[in-house]
Chain A
Amino acid sequence: MKKILLSVTCCFTVLSSIVGQDSLLNKNPYSIEFEIHQGKGAGRIGLAGKINYPWLNKGAFKVQSGILISSYASSNHISKKDYSVSSFTSDNHLQLHTGIEQSLFKKKRIYLFTELYAGGYNVFRKGNLKNSVLSIDREYKNNEFLLDYGSRLGIGYRIKDKWGIQLSLTNSWRQINNGIGVIPSLLLGEADNKMSIGLGINYQF
């Protein structure tokens, strides 16, 4: 099921990029986004940048594709009576997004967006465990690459014509809990099922 979902999302992303090569592009401005993220699973604090490529613009309604790059990191230290653990974790993502954006109300300042993405990321962990009673002094290092797909939802407010501030939720669907639904995957938020909330800016050229 996951392979089917991944394949459909990939095909959709590629298809939309091809369909996007039309004259409408000239009338539709690119936009870029920059966000600071608080993540669950692997690194906790992150930065994300995204460039959007609009291929359909019906005024308040827009369909666009984009490339997102993000990087998260965190460190941890646990100290107990007999043992201590120090660790560092980071994860770095590259995602292709496609979705819709809808501006609301008369002034069209508030906008909602929803996107699906496909991509991949690496999770890097490094740490040290020391246990005085069992005479353990062990290093642990691990680096994994994971294919990924998921969703991104958000709401924004356009301060001026070009500038907007926005809040987003990016959620991996890798572990979709036997296909029961999206909500269980929202609750997991682990390194192989990353979830993060982002706050940032949007600039439209």
Chain B
Amino acid sequence: MKKTTLLISILSLILISSCTKDLLKKATIKTHSISSKYTGKEYEIKVLLPKNYGNGINYPTVYLIDGYYHFNDVGNEKIRLVKKNKMQDVILVSIEYLNLSLSSLANLSAIERYRTEDLTYPEDSENESAEKGGGALLFYDFMKHELIPLIDQSYSTNVNNRTLLGHSLGGYFALFQAFNSPSQQLFDYVVSVSPTLFWAETELMKMTESIHDNSHSVPVNLFLSMGSLEAVEMNAYYDEFVTRLTNHPIQNLNVTSNKFKKDHFANAKFSFSDALKTIY
């Protein structure tokens, strides 16, 4: 009986210890809703403010694409890193869709449809799924003309220090927006994690070749990362992309590339944390 009690106690201890504290519960999070005239969609914007916000400091802003997937991880990680003095505090802006939390499979399906529309360009006619995408130019306009002005007007932001975090299709968008408007950069730092470089028959790689050939300048600090455990397709295109950026450098584009021993989802959390520590 003693052995059984010991066993049950240890099992319980392990299960209880697997639950860590959610630091976001005590943090100040403001929410805004935006009905975009560009994309025609309604967005919920969560703004995680610095701990000592309101002391006259203009904070850097970090915009997080796909907030419904990553806000909990990135928000908690930001608070943890600031607490440990591993990064300076920032305003974290999470972009989500209004009334679409990850509470049901129907919502998940809608989120996937919306994000594929918003984060890709051009339309991928070869895509096997129903989502052909192609709306990234409109989403870029939403960010440029609606979201960023709202955040800069509502909060004490440092307009010369903006970062964009994107993973997967979000990573594709992060690269796309940097390369599509080389002379009008919205962000000083662009973090593209596990980007889906094969979208629309590798349109993005063709874009970068064209930028290099035309000697355009892309004044951005670009942080790239890929999980070495991700699919062969992801890794092979990533390796090729990094090789091309190295062999055919683009003016003023400062590239940092990393590979981590992670798969697709785990790489997001790890790489965002790594990039925040490096940038801030």
Contacts and interface: CB of A to CB of B under 8 A. Distances in A.
Contact of B266 (A42, A126, A133, A192): A192
Contacts of B265: 175, 188, 190, 193
A170 to B, nearest CB: 17
A19 interface: yes
A134 B14 contact: no
Interface string A159-196: 00000000000000111111111100000101111000
Contacts of A16: 7
Interface in A108-167: 116, 123, 125-129, 131, 133-134, 136, 138-140, 142, 144, 146
A138 B237 CA distance: 9
A178 B20 contact: yes
**B contacts with A: majority SS:** helix
A16 B230 CA distance: 36
A85 interface: yes
Task: Give the interface residue-count category, chain B.
Answer: 35 or more
Nearest to A61: B4
B236 A129 contact: yes
B265 to A, nearest CB: 6
A49 interface: no
Nearest to B21: A179
Interface string B4-40: 1001001101110111101000000000000000000
A101 B146 CA distance: 59
Interface stretch (B150-158, B172-180, B198-206): B198-206
Interface stretch (A1-9, A28-36, A197-205): A1-9
Contacts of B209: 134
Contact of A192 (B4, B7, B263): B263
Contacts of B57: none
Interface string B225-238: 00111111101110
Given A134-B209, A192-B266, 5 more contacts: A83-B202, A116-B11, A129-B232, A192-B262, A193-B263
28 contacts: A63-B3, A76-B232, A78-B233, A81-B126, A83-B202, A87-B233, A116-B11, A133-B202, A133-B206, A134-B202, A134-B205, A134-B240, A136-B240, A138-B239, A138-B240, A142-B235, A175-B265, A178-B73, A178-B269, A179-B18, A180-B22, A188-B266, A190-B229, A190-B264, A190-B266, A192-B263, A192-B266, A193-B266
